[in-house]
Amino acid sequence: MTFPAALVIAAGVAGLAGVATPAQTSVERNSGIYVSAEDYASGRIEDGGACASGAYKVELHDVLNKPFIDVTRGKEKKRYAKSALFGLRLCDGHDYRFAANRLYRILETGGLYMYGVERPATQGKGFKLVRSYYFSAGATGEVLPLTLENLHRAYGTNHRFIDSLDRVTGQDLAEYDTFHQQFKVSRLLVESTTQDR
């Protein structure tokens, strides 16, 4: 069964409830683009605007998988190639990264960046949203599905991390540690790089 592309995009962007991530705290939300990973790290939004304003709009064009986005402010419209941008902040208050013209919600940052996407999957006569997790080694690393094999490949020289991963093979790699307020796989990476273990 296939799903309308708009449904897939809406599910992917609107989903991921229940994951503890930093939310935008101000009542007035702003949207805009991050040209580079450095812009994202410093919180510098380009070509942004107030979400409450009807004069500002970001069109992702994910329905037809177009390689660009359009930013409209009043009567002015600018087009950006997705491949030339790191990502963007949408009016839902969350930040996203572009990789291979696809949009990934940023869930956690640090040495290991965690991303999430929700997509519909068939369930009986309807569908349910299935959450998929991805990661990258740092802000500019390749976005890969969160699997043991990919983690081994990306962090193969960090033997402490690999040894820790080998001990949790049966556990869910995307499990969130509410006590430490980070994904467990991220905590394992942090622990593998500290000297006082």
CB 47 within 8 A of CB 33: yes
In a domain, 97, yes or no: yes
Beta partners for residue 108, in sequence order:
114
Instruction: State pLDDT tens for residues 73-97.
Output: 888 999 999 999 999 999 989 999 9
The whole-number pLDDT of residue 169 equals 61
Among left, alpha and beta (phi > 0; psi -120 to 50; other), residue 54 is alpha
In a domain, 13, yes or no: yes
- Which ranges of the chain have pLDDT less than 70? 1-28, 169-171, 195-197
Q: How far is CA 111 from CA 19, 63, 96, 145, in A?
A: 19, 32, 17, 16
Secondary structure of residue 142 in the 3-state scheme: coil
In a domain, 87, yes or no: yes
Q: How far apart are CA 104 and CA 119, in angstroms?
A: 12
In a domain, 172, yes or no: no
In a domain, 180, yes or no: no
In a domain, 193, yes or no: no
Indicate the length of the chain as a whole number. 197
Q: How far is CA 1 from CA 9, 118, 121, 126, in A?
A: 16, 17, 9, 10
The whole-number pLDDT of residue 17 equals 41
- Would the pTM count as exceeding 0.85? no
Range of 34's domain?
5-145
The whole-number pLDDT of residue 52 equals 84
Query: For the chain, how many structural domains are there in total?
Result: 1
